[in-house]
């Protein structure tokens, strides 16, 4: 089996063992320090926007799952931003990894916006999404890079990292792509990624480009060159 085909097969097996979208969002709280939503059991929905100066806004309603899509119907609202916040919306959920969720959402700002989320213990928070891809790099190398980046994020809690599917583009050389959906967020992700790779010389050199698409749900993508080889861990 050729390396790229093997990588695809192993990633397909890994994806089949992941949580479902419902596992991530049922009875969960999703958001950050300024806003969050609650998708409670039995379809009860609440959205909270926190503002010490203007006062908090609370949106209430119902939610249900239709395949991989969350459907929210808003029935009530209290607070200063109800004119903008009291809107029905849908959000399509993709499970990218055991703790990585991608969301394509029509929710009103600031609730449940499109992008990457880190999920753990009935809760998810928006983070900078970092996807790792390659055309033919072996899975050991891909996991070594993933582990390195996850390790750098411990205590910082700014990014969520996952291995994507096999790239259909040339990866003879490494490169980083920035998503134009939220370019400032992508640029912040780039600076973090460059700092995290600074002590991983085995990853090698890379170029930086802006991705042509604007509807990407990741923020930065690391395309790993096909022949990358991580250092062999010494046995103790």
Domain count, the chain: 2
CA distance 49 to 61: 15
Same domain, 82 and 121: yes
Residue 30 lies in a domain: yes
**C-alpha–C-alpha distance, residues 212 and 192, integer Å:** 22
Q: Which domain holds residue 9?
A: 3-17+128-223
Residues of the chain whose pLDDT is less than 50?
1-2, 9-13, 236
Q: Is 177 found in the same domain as 112?
A: no
Same domain, 90 and 177: no
Q: What is the pLDDT of residue 235?
A: 52
| pLDDT for residue 213 | 82
212: domain CATH number?
A: 3.30.70
pLDDT computed for residue 236 by the predictor: 46
pLDDT at 13: 44
How far apart CA 111 and CA 49 sit, in angstroms, is 8
Q: Please indicate, yes or no, if residue 236 is contained in any of the structural domains.
A: no
Mean pLDDT of the chain: 91
Written as six digits, the tokens of 95 are 């499970």
In a domain, 44, yes or no: yes
Is residue 231 assigned to a domain? no
In terms of Cα–Cα distance, which of 136, 97, 30 is closest to 38?
A: 30
Query: Do 11 and 35 have their domain in common?
Result: no
Residue 196 and residue 217 in one domain? yes
Q: What angle do CA 3, 223, 195 make, to 5 degrees?
A: 130
Q: Which of 126, 160, 188 is the last residue of a domain?
A: 126
Q: What is the pLDDT of residue 1?
A: 47
Instruction: For residues 88 and 61, give the distance between their C-alpha atoms in angstroms, rounded to a whole number.
Output: 9
Residue 147 lies in a domain: yes
167 falls within a domain: yes
CB-based contacts of 72, cutoff 8 Å, min separation 6: 45, 61, 62, 63, 88, 89, 90, 91, 107
- Is 229 contained in some domain? no
168 found inside a domain = yes
Of 71, 95, 126, the last residue of a domain is 126
pLDDT number for residue 212:
82
What's the residue count for the chain? 236
Which pLDDT belongs to residue 14? 53
Residue that finishes a domain, picked among 126, 161, 184 = 126
**10 and 72 assigned to the same domain:** no
């Amino acid at each position: 089996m050729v390396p790229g085909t093997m990588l695809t097969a192993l990633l397909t097996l890994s994806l089949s063992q992941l949580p479902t979208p419902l596992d991530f969002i049922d009875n969960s709280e999703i958001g950050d320090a300024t806003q969050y939503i609650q998708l409670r059991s039995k379809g009860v929905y609440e959205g909270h926007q926190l503002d010490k100066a203007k006062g908090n806004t609370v949106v209430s309603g119902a939610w249900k799952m239709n395949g991989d899509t969350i459907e929210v119907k808003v029935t009530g609202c209290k607070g200063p931003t109800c004119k903008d916040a009291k809107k029905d919306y849908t959000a399509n959920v993709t499970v990218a990894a055991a703790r990585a969720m991608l969301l394509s959402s029509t929710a009103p700002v600031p609730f449940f916006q499109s992008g990457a989320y880190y999920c753990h213990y009935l809760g998810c928070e928006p983070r900078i999404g970092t996807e790792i891809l390659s055309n033919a790099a072996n899975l050991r190398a891909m996991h070594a890079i993933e582990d390195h980046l996850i390790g750098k994020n411990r205590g910082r809690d700014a990014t969520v990292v996952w291995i994507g599917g096999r790239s259909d583009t040339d990866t003879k050389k490494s490169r980083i792509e920035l998503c134009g959906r939220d370019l400032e967020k992508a640029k912040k992700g780039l600076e973090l990624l460059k700092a995290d790779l600074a002590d991983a010389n085995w990853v090698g050199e890379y170029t930086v480009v802006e991705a042509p698409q604007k509807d990407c749900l990741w923020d930065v993508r690391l395309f790993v060159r096909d022949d990358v080889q991580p250092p062999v861990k010494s046995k103790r």
